[in-house]
Amino acid sequence: MLSPQIKENLKSASLIVGLFVAWEIACVVFHISPIVLPRPSAVFTTLIIQMPALWPNILQTLATTMVGFILGMIIGVALGVFVGVSRTAYKTAYPLLVGFSSIPKVAVVPIFVLWFGSGTVPAVLTALTTCIFPIVVNVATGLATTEPEMEDVLKALGASRMQVLWNVSLPRAMPYFFASLKVAVTLAFVGTVLSETVASNLGIGTVMMMATSSFDVPLAFAGLFALAFLGIALYSVFAVIEQRVCGWANRKQEFAMG
Amino acid sequence: MTTTFAPVEHRGARIAQLEDVKVRFGKGDNAFLALDKTNLTVRPGDFVAMVGPSGCGKSTILKLVAGLLRPTEGVVFVAGREVGAEQVGIGMAFQNPTMLPWLTIRQNIMLPLKIVKPYSDTFSRDKDTVFRDRADALLAKVGLTGFGDRRPWELSGGMLQRANLCRALIHSPKLLMLDEPFGALDQFTREELWAILQDLWMETKPTVFLVTHDLREAAFLASRILVMSARPGRVTEDRTVDFPRPRTLETTFEIEFTDLTNDLRRLIFAARQGVEKA
């Protein structure tokens, strides 16, 4: 007999496959032109056939995204801690952050290109600026969730602010931090591809730009699929790390007061 | 010569002292006096319980002594020094046990040793030997033998509160602050924990400040009970409780005990009436 866990996974997997099958059937039944919406089978075939040509572009996009994401993570955590512990910093930085995150990044790319020329640098910067907001907000929020009683206990013992931060606030903020990483890594992809479509000669964004301009819609979709796979893969990596590092946060729901 | 040393002895006999202390919260029209001019002297080893209607400034006194709150007027001395710059490693426990969920119960209990000197100097060396044994010995005293490696979510509310007492006492503090520690527990667990707390207190005789709503709890545990009036808070009654120790549940059935709790109830009732008229 299969365990309920496996059964559930099988169920959701078959539903996902079913979705693609429905798409395939719809394309055939309604005679949808491949220039409008290619069949998933055609997309997968293109993806496999074009893989040798796509591969360097995939690596380029992945590398750009990771560099932008890691920089965004470092700066995001630093900013988040700064905003989370200081009232003045919070009041100063928050409106600026909200304002900055409201700017569509597509409007920022030309400015980056103007400053640094086209290529990898504006893509890294776009990835960074796209993914940083949720990290800052979540780290700051996580730091603010420290119970006032716990802070009082530590202060009465004579703990310094650094000791409170290190022993209580930062570990308490970890689940928030990891939750934001999962979102941020997918946002970083969006930023990279956005910049690549505007000003670059390598990367999935560039490939898709060229494919659409030559009406090779299956190739454009192959690019989309490749992006989706990369996104899912990185999301899973961070989900696993999160489970390892802060398993206690999920257990907490069973925390019984009785 | 003795006269030269007299002030020192004088100070030594007062572990905590409030001199003309007033506390005001808020600003402008919203400002209110939480604690009216209060003078209070507590000797080392006193077990002081504070009772009174809600909002009477019981917790305010606790926070003043713990250095978590500055008086608006007056001075607070702890161990002969003005409260502030240098803390003396005060143990504290609230109704909410606040055990950190990413640590085991033992690691939670050992947290003060990581912070309070001189323990903090040798923490990394002693955490798996001397300090571990110390934590386990304390766990045994509160009836939690074998729970050191468990996580907080695996324990019931009563068990967490026992662990909370351990954390407050692990560094043998001279001062112990308890803010309604048993408020969320059922009657039976609560009475069990009274006895445990009394045993722990009798071993090292720290000075205790206990805030409680439970008059029987105050009468059972305290050597001195302060009754406070409603806002602005004032100490209206200062009772010495000298039932012999160790007190047991039998003590609570004695006529002197019930007389005391009835007296306290009357005093608090009078204090509340005063508020409603005003």
Q: At the topology level of CATH, where does B44-67+84-277 sit?
A: Rossmann fold (3.40.50)
* Averages of pLDDT over each 10 residues, chain B, 278 residues: 39 75 82 85 92 82 88 85 71 91 94 89 88 92 91 91 93 91 90 93 92 92 90 85 90 91 89 61
Structure tokens at B173: 């503090």
pTM of the complete model: 0.79
Q: Is A171 within 8 Å of B93 when comparing Cβ atoms?
A: no
Same domain, A117 and A178: yes
Q: Is B98 within 8 Å of A150 when comparing Cβ atoms?
A: yes
Same domain, A55 and A19: no
Hey, how many other C-beta atoms are within 10 angstroms of the C-beta on A70?
Answer: 16
Structure tokens at B145: 């033998």
The counts of H helices and E strands in chain A are: 12, 0
Q: Does residue A253 form part of some domain?
A: no
**What CATH number corresponds to the domain at position A172?**
1.10.3720.10
- Between A and B, how many CB-CB pairs are < 8 A? 82
Same domain, A84 and A170: yes
The number of residues in chain A equals 258
Same domain, A82 and A163: yes
Number of domains in chain A: 2
Same domain, A8 and A114: no
Same domain, A3 and A26: yes
Q: Does residue A198 form part of some domain?
A: yes
Same domain, A96 and A158: yes
| Alpha carbon distance B166, B188 (integer Å) | 20
**CB A156 within 8 Å of CB B67:** yes
Backbone angles phi, psi at A229, to 5 degrees: -65, -45
Range of the domain at A235: 42-246
* Averages of pLDDT over each 10 residues, chain A, 258 residues: 83 92 92 89 91 92 95 94 86 87 89 90 94 92 87 89 90 91 92 90 90 90 92 90 82 44
Please give the pLDDT value at position B38: 85
Min Cα separation B101/chain A (Å): 6
CB-nearest partner of B98 from A147, A159, A251: A147
Same domain, A180 and A210: yes
CA angle B89, B94, B97 (to 5 degrees): 100
Burial class (CB in 10 A: 0-12, 13-18, 19+), A253: exposed
Tell me which chain A residues have a C-beta less than 8 angstroms from the C-beta of B89.
Answer: 157-158
Q: Does residue A98 form part of some domain?
A: yes
User: Which residues, including other chains, have CB under 8 Å from residue B128's CB and lie 6 or more apart?
Assistant: none
Query: Measured in Å, how far apart are chain A's first and last C-alpha atoms?
Result: 37
Same domain, A164 and A209: yes
Would strands B73-78 and B91-94 be described as parallel, antiparallel, or unpaired? unpaired
Query: Measured in Å, how far apart are chain B's first and last C-alpha atoms?
Result: 54
Same domain, A52 and A124: yes
Give B52-103 pLDDT, tens digit per residue: 887 778 888 888 888 888 888 888 888 777 776 566 789 999 998 899 999 9
Same domain, A10 and A121: no
Please give the pLDDT value at position A251: 63
Q: Is B92 within 8 Å of A157 when comparing Cβ atoms?
A: yes
Q: Which residues pair with B48 in a beta bridge?
A: B209, B224
Coil, strand or helix: which one is B89?
coil
Same domain, A129 and A165: yes
**CB B198 within 8 Å of CB B221:** yes
Q: Is B102 within 8 Å of A171 when comparing Cβ atoms?
A: yes
**CB B183 within 8 Å of CB B51:** no
Coil, strand or helix: which one is B235?
strand
Please give the pLDDT value at position B31: 81
Q: How far is residue A56 from each of residues A97, A203, A206, A213, B6, measured CA to CA in Å?
A: 35, 7, 12, 20, 85
Q: Does residue A110 form part of some domain?
A: yes
Looking at residue B263, its amino acid is D
Residue written as tokens 């722990």?
A: B200
Q: Is B87 within 8 Å of A156 when comparing Cβ atoms?
A: yes
Tell me which chain A residues have a C-beta less than 8 angstroms from the C-beta of B108.
Answer: none
Please give the pLDDT value at position B11: 47
